[in-house]
Amino acid sequence: MEGWDSLRVDLRRLLEESPGALVVLPDPDSERRERPIRIDLAAWATDIAEELHAKYGGLVALRVGAMTFPARQLVVNEHSRQLRGAPAELAGLDIRAETPLSVRTGRSERKDVVVANRTDREQVLLTAGELGSRVTDGSGNVVGMFVGPHAMPRVGFSIEAHGSRSVPVLIGTASVVPELGYAVPPGQWNLVVSLQTDEGFMLSAPLGITVTP
């Protein structure tokens, strides 16, 4: 089994050859002593995880998307996988996609949705820079989400009475169902967008989304 000196060479190579594959990793220029060395990879990077696992074994503790590798044990807690909130339409907020939604399997992207305010007063969406979301199946069960470091600025999006505006939403396709694999498989799914105002948390009606290969 190879050691840290070899691993940090591989980490530098992967950072250059496969941008976005390594999500959480140690500084390749540091002198490591702790074992195992945690490395988090994007949900699409299973081939890279297999390479690291085969070469370094117990030296590394690998996570791919929302699960450990290769055991596929979930590392995101149940609370973060749940959808919480009242229907947004009951608060006078409607959400629709600006264009047909599609994301590559295992990837995360920011897309714009249009939020319409049907009430007689201004509404302010409280966000961390974008709205959150979950990918669900036809029964409403959460099957995918964004997993990874996330900046936490407080950004408000104001929508005037009877007005509408585009708001970015972060869409992630890391699977939270081990039976599906590390990434939500290609196909037709639903996207539920989460919103927060001074009235609390709310959820959009399901929007169709295509997960592509």
The amino acid at residue 70 is: P
Residue 63 in this model has a pLDDT that exceeds 70: yes
- Higher-pLDDT residue of 98, 177: 177
3-state secondary structure of 17: helix
pLDDT at position 4 is 94
The span from the CA of 75 to the CA of 203, in Å, is 24
Eight-class DSSP state of 35: S
Residue 197 in this model has a pLDDT that exceeds 70: yes
Eight-class DSSP state of 190: E
Residue 50 in this model has a pLDDT that exceeds 90: yes
Domain covering 80-212, topology = Immunoglobulin-like (2.60.40)
Task: Calculate what percentage of the chain has a pLDDT beyond 90.
Answer: 91
pLDDT at position 1 is 58
* pTM summary value: 0.94
Q: Which sequence spans correspond to the domains of the chain? A: 4-64, 80-212
pLDDT at position 161 is 98
From residue 43, how far is each of 5, 136, 148, 159, 174 by CA, in Å? 26, 17, 10, 35, 5
